[in-house]
Amino acid sequence: HNDPLACCLLNHRYEHSVEGVMKEKLVLIGNGMAGVRTLEEVLKLAPDQYDISVFGGEPYGNYNRILLSPVLAGEKTIDEIMLNDEQWYKDNDITLHKGKWVDEVNRAQRIVRTTDGTEEKYDRLIIATGSNPFIIPIPGHDMQGVIAFRDINDVDTMLSASKEKNGKAIVIGGGLLGLEAANGLMKQGMDVSVVHLLDSLMERQLDKAASALLKASLEERGMKFLMEAQTEAIIGKDQVEAVRFKDGTEVPADLVVMAVGIKPNIELAEKIGLHCERGIVVSDTMQTFDPRIYSVGECVQHRGMTYGLVAPLFEQAKVCANHLAHLGIARYEGSITSTKLKVTGIDLFSAGDFEGDDTTEELVLQDPGLGIYKKVVLKDNKIQGAVMYGDTIDGTWYFEMMRDNTDVSDIRDKLLFGQAHLGDSGHGDDNRVAAMSATTEICGCNGICKGDIVDAITRKNLFTLDDVRVHTKASSSCGSCTGLVEALLAHTLGGDYSQSPNKKPLCGCTEFTHDEVRTSIRENELKTVHDVQEFLEWKAPDGCSKCRPALNYYLLCQWPGEYIDDNQSRFINERAHANIQKDATFSVIPRMWGGGTTPDELRAIADAAEKFNVKTVHVTGGQRIAMYGLKKEELPVIWGDLSKAGLVSGHAYGKALRTVKTCVGKEWCRFGTQDSTQLGVDLEKMTWGSWTPHKYKMAASGCPRNCAEATIKDFGVVCVDSGYELHVGGNGGVKVRATDLLCHVETSEQVLEYAAAFMQLYREDAHYLERTAPWLERVGLTFVKEKVVEDEAGRKALAERFLYSQKFSQDDPWQARAEGTDEHEFKPIKMVS
Amino acid sequence: MQQAEKVMSEQDSWIEVGNLNDIPKLGARVVRTADGDIAVFRTADDEIFALRDKCPHKGGPLSQGIVHGKRVACPLHDWKIQLDSGEAVAPDEGCAASYPVKVEGELILLSLTPNEGCPNS
């Protein structure tokens, strides 16, 4: 779009097409993770656009550099960490020039040349030269036995050095890489000392307290440390013999590993005149100052930052590919990263700014006995950073809240105890992934065990939650194990995993988030699913099974009375107004207002059950009666029978108002304080038929004994002598969450107004398929109180919008279908005898 | 001679299913046969495809799924099935048999003899 090159590229393509079959030429310099990931993304988006060549200095395909530590520690083999073998390049028609170094780029003629004279012309070029290990220029640094820890070659050298009996290794650098190298060498049987210039290890990732815990536990394993030691020289004839320090001491060594840091490899970029500072400077579209030349990976400097972790590099790759495919909608806006140490048995997590300053607050939990340390740094009640040692299960949770800028004022008091203590029992003490056996079930919906997931991550080289979902089905159904799967990803990938991009797109068809899509629908007055997809340049013309129902809901919510529901964008249950079962039959559940019924209704249900030979009649948890095993063609007929007795759809199949559960209240109960039954009926009469982001359940209990279980409902009323307590954001199910108290009101009219306002706020603000519980945790109770309790005019406006939209949704869909609406939905098109 | 016989039998086997507009765009209808249901799909640009109405995963009725592009998402566990080949989209594996289908004017014609290549017919 705003790419100055777009028009001349179009011309360029035209020239080629006149000549015949030539495609644009895309050349990649650097056969590493970031560059090749970019190519993979390009192939996904525009498989036929480019003729691709790759130059790589190493004599291998593309391998997973972050897994070199496990290779060194003997936990993995080289083959297991290959990401793209040579066959992959062949399969995708990519020319791979391996073992060749590019030392010249003619930008005027657009030609790349290697030291051995190989040339390739390019239309667009990607520089992904990565980084080089920093070698301290002390005497002896180029001696035999002095190496870095950067590539397969280094690992080979270390492995052969470790074969010597009683070999002594010195690792210079007590950062992430140094400690992983030291751990690997120690596992290979070497006597290892780590030399560090400062007084605490991993000072860029850990504060002093966590660092001390780490040092103690590594010492327990036999690692030695020389802290605040400055290396002066490496001593030996040809082969290293010892290391001498500034204070004069000498320590014998057969192997010296320098792991003091990396620096972006900008040599080529500087040589060809691209603007570089610490790294190659790029824009938000990953273009260098020459717009035909892109750069991604560790060699890049973006908004003043350089990155050495995988997740940011992959985000850059995605944006770069998006631009190369001329989609132009993605922008890289920088990454927040988190760190884990890949040393088996040591749990350590850090993210963001964990040191803090005058403007921040620190929450600290320290239990030396259990070896647990957690620190969360807050600024204006938002998480700035976190360090954890010994118990890192909540790392992903803190990281997510940090990324989403979540206000934690409502949960500050419980924050350090973890998500399990929020009344959200998604995971608890028993579920620490590291301690789980391979046969522990992670995803109960699909029966996927820890071993299956770990196996898929390592064998199929998966990096993201979505990858795991596609390949294993874990976390793809109810989603309650998502945190565990993310923890497993972090645990398995170790060091460089940070779980998700800054922005979560609505689905694979778009880069836009739920919120961005909703805003655009509103501001650009988009009124059909097709309009939204076209305006926001959906990658797949008619979307997928994930986005279409979401868009249909957003439009329905935004334009009540105006939007025409798109049946084909609804999941079968909502399209057919019944729940599909595993044998393709359906269930039928009529509404019972506030859980009440009559002999006539029961008789009608009994008659229908007999007439249609219903196999199972079952009382539901929502105080109604379900009939199972009906054929699709029978549905309009049974609905016709039921509606003659006054029974209407219970919407038990919808992302919609389900039930309002009640107790008998003061009409019968000796403890009842208010007429909770009538209140429940009134609530249900007001809200039935409404569509919501996810299913929505209510309850009204007549006294604080709470027999209607109102405190695990999306909206619950507990009657008290002085009026009504209103509770919000609860649910049963896998992740039980008790409600938060919203407020206390005095009259039943107020209950109805608050109920309508809260429901409308949820309808307008939550993401599709997000229940009130996670929504409330995301936006915070304070936000909801501000909108529904404190702002009277706002509350009334919300309630009014709710009631307005209800005008268009309170027609019984069952009766309509019994009378012939959507006849095609229920009948075969043809019967063949 | 053999060739002519084959053509004859193919012509005999086309049955009229209904009109294009009997199936909603991005939707499907079922042809009920003694050997089970066949799902007939219509895409956004009015292409018609026919598959055995049984997902290779757990037998879910594909006719009830959401149609997008040239795929359908099974309503039971969201497997994506390719409408033209009946193959499950990777990494899932399996196939639903596909059936020859053609449109003449507005009329949809279907053959009850499945295409070769998939055992699940």
Minimal Cβ distance to A824: which of B29, B61, B73: B29
Minimal Cβ distance to A832: which of B15, B80, B91: B15
> Is residue A5 scored above 60 in pLDDT?
no
A400 falls in which pLDDT band (50, 70, 90)? confident
Residues from chain A contacting residue B64 (CB–CB below 8 Å): 572, 576, 580, 584
Whether the pTM exceeds 0.95: the reply is no
Minimal Cβ distance to B64: which of A549, A572, A833: A572
Smallest CA–CA separation between B118 and chain A, in Å? 22
Query: pLDDT at position A467, please?
Result: 82
Q: Which residue has the higher pLDDT, A716 or A78?
A: A716
Q: Please indicate whether, in this complex, the C-beta atoms of A832 and B33 are within 8 angstroms of each other.
A: yes
Q: Please indicate whether, in this complex, the C-beta atoms of B31 and A829 are within 8 angstroms of each other.
A: yes
B69/A contact by beta carbon, under 8 A: yes
Residues from chain B contacting residue A473 (CB–CB below 8 Å): 77
CB atoms within 10 A of CB A401: 22
Q: Please indicate whether, in this complex, the C-beta atoms of A568 and B60 are within 8 angstroms of each other.
A: no
Minimal Cβ distance to A571: which of B34, B66, B68: B66
Q: What is the mean pLDDT of residues A129-136?
A: 91
Query: pLDDT at position A18, please?
Result: 40
Minimal Cβ distance to A828: which of B30, B78, B112: B30
Mutate to test the interface with A, among B41, B43, B68 (most CBs of A within 10 A): B68
ipTM reported for the complex, 2 dp: 0.90
Residues A570, A656: Cα–Cα separation, whole Å: 13
Q: Please indicate whether, in this complex, the C-beta atoms of A549 and B66 are within 8 angstroms of each other.
A: yes
Share of chain A above pLDDT 70, in %: 93
Run of H or E residues at A212: helix A208-220
Query: pLDDT at position A539, please?
Result: 87
In single-letter form, the type of residue at position A554 comes to: Y
Residues A130, A298: Cα–Cα separation, whole Å: 5
Residues from chain A contacting residue B77 (CB–CB below 8 Å): 473, 477
> Is residue A678 scored above 70 in pLDDT?
yes
Which range among A17-26, A540-549, A821-830 shows the weakest confidence by mean pLDDT? A17-26
A613/B contact by beta carbon, under 8 A: no
Query: pLDDT at position A432, please?
Result: 62
B15/A contact by beta carbon, under 8 A: yes
Which tokens in the block code for residue A107?
């930008």
B102/A contact by beta carbon, under 8 A: no
CA B99 to chain centre: 5
**pLDDT (tens digit per residue) in A22-78:** 789 999 999 998 999 999 989 988 889 999 999 998 887 788 887 788 888 888 888
Q: Which residue of A has its CA nearest to B31?
A: A830
Cβ within 8 Å of B, A 551-610: 567-569, 571-572, 576, 580, 582, 584
Which tokens in the block code for residue A259?
């792991």
Smallest CA–CA separation between A556 and chain B, in Å? 18
In single-letter form, the type of residue at position A317 comes to: A
Residues A325, A636: Cα–Cα separation, whole Å: 49
Q: What is the mean pLDDT of residues A611-638?
A: 96
Residues from chain B contacting residue A580 (CB–CB below 8 Å): 61, 64, 75-76
Helix/strand number for chain B, H first, E second: 1, 10
Minimal Cβ distance to B27: which of A549, A568, A830: A568
> Is residue A11 scored above 50 in pLDDT?
no
Minimal Cβ distance to B66: which of A470, A548, A584: A548
> Is residue A446 scored above 80 in pLDDT?
no
Residues B96 and B83: beta-carbon distance below 8 Å: no
Q: Which residue of A has its CA nearest to B69?
A: A542
Q: Which residue of B has its CA nearest to A576?
A: B64
Q: Sort strands A131-133 and A300-302 into parallel, antiparallel or unpaired.
A: unpaired
Mutate to test the interface with B, among A568, A573, A827 (most CBs of B within 10 A): A568
> Is residue A425 scored above 50 in pLDDT?
no
Q: Which residue of A has its CA nearest to B76?
A: A582
Q: Which residue of A has its CA nearest to B65?
A: A572
Smallest CA–CA separation between A446 and chain B, in Å? 10
Give, for all 121 residues of chain B, the pLDDT tens digit: 444 444 545 555 899 999 999 999 999 999 999 999 999 999 999 999 999 999 999 999 999 999 999 999 999 989 999 999 999 998 889 999 999 999 999 999 999 999 988 887 6
Query: pLDDT at position A635, please?
Result: 97
Q: What is the mean pLDDT of residues A79-94?
A: 88
Q: Please indicate whether, in this complex, the C-beta atoms of B34 and A832 are within 8 angstroms of each other.
A: yes
> Is residue A114 scored above 60 in pLDDT?
yes
Interior angle at CA A755, CA A754 and CA A759, nearest 5: 115
Q: Which residue has the higher pLDDT, A450 or A643?
A: A643
Query: pLDDT at position A10, please?
Result: 42
Smallest CA–CA separation between B2 and chain A, in Å? 28
CB atoms within 10 A of CB A160: 10
Q: Which residue of B has its CA nearest to A543?
A: B68
Interior angle at CA A677, CA A747 and CA A592, nearest 5: 130
Q: Which residue of B has its CA nearest to A826?
A: B29
CB under 8 A, 24+ apart: contacts of A784-792: A784/A728, A784/A729, A784/A742, A784/A758, A785/A742, A785/A743, A787/A757, A787/A761, A788/A742, A788/A743, A788/A754, A788/A757, A788/A758, A788/A761, A789/A742, A789/A743, A789/A754
In single-letter form, the type of residue at position A312 comes to: P
Q: Please indicate whether, in this complex, the C-beta atoms of A569 and B25 are within 8 angstroms of each other.
A: no
A549: burial class by Cβ within 10 Å (0-12, 13-18, 19+)?
buried
Q: Please indicate whether, in this complex, the C-beta atoms of B68 and A548 are within 8 angstroms of each other.
A: yes
A497 falls in which pLDDT band (50, 70, 90)? low
Residue A242 Ramachandran class (φ > 0 left, ψ -120 to 50 alpha, else beta): beta
Residues B86, A123: Cα–Cα separation, whole Å: 39
**pLDDT (tens digit per residue) in A203-242:** 888 888 889 989 998 999 999 999 999 999 999 988 999 9
A422 falls in which pLDDT band (50, 70, 90)? low
Which range among A269-283, A368-382, A635-649, B68-82 shows the weakest confidence by mean pLDDT? A368-382
Smallest CA–CA separation between A824 and chain B, in Å? 7
Residues A27 and A119: beta-carbon distance below 8 Å: no
Cβ within 8 Å of B, A 535-554: 540-545, 548-549
A633/B contact by beta carbon, under 8 A: no
Residues A115 and A74: beta-carbon distance below 8 Å: no
> Is residue A299 scored above 90 in pLDDT?
yes
Residues from chain B contacting residue A832 (CB–CB below 8 Å): 15, 31-34, 112
Of A254-258, A484-488, A735-739, give the range with the top mean pLDDT: A254-258
Smallest CA–CA separation between A764 and chain B, in Å? 25
**Tokens 């959507």 label which residue?**
A822
Residues from chain A contacting residue B40 (CB–CB below 8 Å): 829
Cβ within 8 Å of B, A 465-494: 470-471, 473, 476-477
